[in-house]
Chains A and B, each alone.
Chain A
Amino acid sequence: MSSITTKDLTADRDLLPWEAYVPGHHWRNAEDEAEGAKLGMWLFLSTEVLLFMGFFTAYAAFRMKFPGNWYEAAHYYLDWQIGAINTCVLLLSSWTVVMAVRAAQLAKRRQILVYLAITNLCALFFLATKLILEYWPKIQKGKLPGANFAYTGEVQGAHDHIFLSVYWISTATHGFHVLVGVFLISWCMIKAAKNHYGPKHYTSLENVALYWHLVDVIWIFLFPLLYLA
């Protein structure tokens, strides 16, 4: 009994890696393998939702305790225009990821690379905006979370430090997810460049896309709750 590996089949020079892809031997076929991987990704995304729910719970509990101060602090410390631009940028990146998966389904290698490159540029723009325009000025003014909050200079209300604690922990965790996304998308770009994605096989690209959409969904909630409401 001999089992066929991807390596055996790619030995044929005419065969691209995605064409030669053979699912793991414990899978009935490639479709089952892709579906199984996707279900696993959804289970992981569920844990991610619950992780961020912790921050949303803190938001809700403290907002309920200090409704007036909360609203004022949100409008005092945060610039809704930066948040709105970053929201549009993340929505654009979500759309380009959708188009990258579509390009893989249509075996258009160059399109996958172009769309993923735009996605990564959006992600880097988001992180740069966050660090340069939002985090750095706050660090300089000592508007740090919790006990590190400096009650010097302008202070808006008595519970600003609690609002900023929720702001920092939720946006920083989200920002970390964006950073992880940059690495994952770069990895997908390398695989796409090496012809690993095509109509018969694009599992990792599809699952990274799901991850990226979740990061977008989290921001869809963080933006209005922190910057606007």
Chain B
Amino acid sequence: MAHAHDHKPKLDLDDGRFDPHETLASDEAHAGHHVHVASFGLMFWVFAILLVLTALTVWTSRLPMSHTAHLVMAIVIATVKALLVAAFFMHLWWDKALNTIVVSATLFAAVLFVGLTLLDVNSRALVTPMEKPERIAGGVQPTNAELTTSGAFELSRRAAEEKKAKGLPIDHDTGHGGDKPH
């Protein structure tokens, strides 16, 4: 089996220079060495659109909307900007599909990472009453409204207050003491 490097470099008589690709006297060396040169105009427009989207995200942040609506707007605009950078500045649009597959798999893992963590954090309150049977035995039945994240903190705070009233030691792991800094 002949290796490409067994071939000696050939002298290009036209300009008296070596062509390093001539040293790889295999068909592969010449087959499809196509470099995509980004067009100046397209890249400038992508840059301009990114600046416009930055202005847009600042503008939407000043609209009278709920906190959640602000968050959603910020994430949507940032995602559009990130896609523009990835597709054009990072060349994924012209690259082999493999690189896009790697990024997509990463984003899938990232969504699982954030999504499952948030599911856990947001459903702790559903578990808390079961972990603390004395709260239910003591007559504190959690309402549906309390079975939320902030509800869990409210229950902890109430439990801490009850213990304090009875002179029992407060469980500092769960009682954040409401809104007072500690």
**What residues of A have a CB within 8 angstroms of the CB of B117 in the complex?**
57, 60-61
A186 at the interface (CB under 8 A from B): no
A1 at the interface (CB under 8 A from B): yes
Q: Is the CB of B37 within 8 A of A99?
A: no
Q: Which of B94-102, B134-142, B167-175 interfaces with chain A?
A: B94-102
Query: On chain B, which size bracket covers the interface?
Result: 35 or more
A49 → B minimal CB distance (Å): 5
Query: On chain A, which size bracket covers the interface?
Result: 35 or more
Contact with A along B171-182 (1 / 0, CB 8 A): 000000011110
Q: Which of B16, B23, B38, B54 contacts A91 (CB under 8 A)?
A: B54
**What residues of B have a CB within 8 angstroms of the CB of A45 in the complex?**
103
A210 at the interface (CB under 8 A from B): yes
**What residues of B have a CB within 8 angstroms of the CB of A9 in the complex?**
9, 18, 20
Contact with A along B51-78 (1 / 0, CB 8 A): 1001001100100000110110111011
Q: Is the CB of A56 within 8 A of B51?
A: no
A115 → B minimal CB distance (Å): 11
A131 at the interface (CB under 8 A from B): no
Assess A49 versus B110: contact at CB under 8 Å? Given A30-B33, A60-B118. Answer: yes
Q: Is the CB of A61 within 8 A of B121?
A: yes
- Residue of A whose beta carbon sits closest to that of B102: A42
Q: Is the CB of B23 within 8 A of A15?
A: no
* Residues from 104 to 159 in B contacting A, C-beta threshold 8 Å: 105-107, 109-110, 113-114, 117-118, 121-122, 149-150, 153
Complex Cα gap A12–B181 (Å): 73
- Residue of B whose beta carbon sits closest to that of A3: B5
**What residues of B have a CB within 8 angstroms of the CB of A67 in the complex?**
67-68
Q: Is the CB of A92 within 8 A of B85?
A: no
A118 at the interface (CB under 8 A from B): no
**What residues of A have a CB within 8 angstroms of the CB of B78 in the complex?**
220-221, 223-225
**What residues of A have a CB within 8 angstroms of the CB of B122 in the complex?**
64
A174 at the interface (CB under 8 A from B): no
Assess A49 versus B106: contact at CB under 8 Å? Given A57-B114, A151-B181. Answer: yes
A132 at the interface (CB under 8 A from B): no
Q: Which of B40, B86, B95, B180 contacts A102 (CB under 8 A)?
A: B40
Q: Is the CB of A65 within 8 A of B153?
A: yes
Q: Is the CB of A65 within 8 A of B106?
A: no
B140 → A minimal CB distance (Å): 21
- Residue of A whose beta carbon sits closest to that of B92: A42
Q: A19-B17, A87-B54 are in contact. List 7 more A-B contacts (CB 8 A).
A: A14-B17, A29-B24, A39-B102, A71-B67, A88-B51, A157-B179, A220-B82
Residues on A close to B: CB < 8 A? Answer: 1-4, 9, 12, 14-15, 19-22, 25, 28-32, 35, 38-39, 42-43, 45-46, 49-50, 53-54, 56-57, 60-61, 63-65, 67-68, 70-71, 80, 84, 87-88, 91-92, 94-95, 97-99, 101-102, 105-106, 151, 155, 157-158, 161, 199-200, 210, 213-214, 216-217, 220-221, 223-225, 228-229
